[in-house]
Amino acid sequence: MIVSIVVSVYNEENVLSLFYTEIIKVLNENTFDYELIFVNDGSIDNSKNILNGFASENPKVKTLHLSINFGHESAMIAGIDYATGNAIICMDSDLQHPPTEIPKMIECFQRQKMDIINMVNTNTNKKVGSEFFYYFLNKISSHKITNNASDFFLISDRIAQILRKDFRERVRFLRGFIQIIGFNKTTLTFNVQKRRSGKSKYSFLKLLELSFSAIANLSKAPLKVGIYAGFFSAFLSLVLVVYSLVMKIIEKPIPGYTTIIIFLGIMFSILFFILGIIGEYIGFLFEEQKRRPIYIIEEVTNFKENN
């Protein structure tokens, strides 16, 4: 059996050597064969040279250098596309995904014949925002996503074949895709470790963008906000009509300025919010229609044949 380890790298020069030392130690202590695929996602530091150094000293280390930074999801897809193993494990290079968990994943894959193994973070210091995101996503989506699922997971070769052929969206949520495909799947727990060096590449805005991409991929519920907002607006309008008629009948002056300003403010806020949601969905459709490549390979190392 061959196990493919796909590792996404973006400006991680300070931690790559430590990660490589730890993962090679784990892989060499086990009986299965492996290929270690580093996907350099357009790093602008010295990550490329470091990865090429690993590949020159170990033929089982393979590198994919993307032409620019296409994003973490694209890097993982690239690695999966080029992987040849019976099982494929995706993980990050910052050591927050412990390499020591790999044998446990492989044992579960072999013993239980699982096609998908989701690694779930059990760290007590989980962010409240993450908990809320998964709760909200599961409420509005017909697909149920495992809480605190991560980009640390194992898939079988037949799941990889499905991802290579059918799930080719330009806007994607890979950790969600593998959970809606079906087949045999399970979850294992692990504790997310602290970064050994550097800072997270996901800013608040990038996390927000990823969150909306996930929602748009798995649910059409936000588009229904306009319907509910329409009913709400109609109700407010009816209340104002009744109020105005009553005040006219009893011949009392109507203090209309404040009411009108508040009403217009609420209505325009709802309107622009709905337009924003629709605009995001149209933007996703536009990206899919252009059919630009998910990633572009600039250079590969230790691959017998280019995919």
pLDDT in tens, 246-255: 766 776 665 6
In the beta sheet, which residues pair with residue 39?
A: 8, 64
Segment 189-209, tens digit of pLDDT = 888 777 656 565 555 566 566
Instruction: Check whether 115 has a pLDDT greater than 80.
Output: yes
Rounded to 5 degrees, φ, ψ at 304 are -65, -40
Pairwise CA distance, residues 283 & 3, whole Å: 37
Instruction: Check whether 265 has a pLDDT greater than 80.
Output: no
Q: Which contacts (CB < 8 Å, 24+ apart) does range 203-206 have?
A: none
Pairwise CA distance, residues 296 & 70, whole Å: 8
Rounded to 5 degrees, φ, ψ at 298 are -95, -40
The one-letter code for the residue type at 95 is: L
Segment 6-59, tens digit of pLDDT = 999 998 888 899 999 999 999 988 878 899 999 999 898 899 999 999 999 999
Q: Which two tokens stand for residue 231?
A: 């009913």
Where are the chain's structural domains?
2-205+294-301, 221-290
Average pLDDT of the chain to the nearest whole number: 79
The one-letter code for the residue type at 71 is: G
DSSP state of 6: E
Tokens 């149209």 locate to 282
Q: In this structure, are residues 23 and 92 in contact, taking their beta carbons and an 8 Å threshold?
A: no
Architecture of domain 2-205+294-301: Alpha-Beta Complex (3.90)
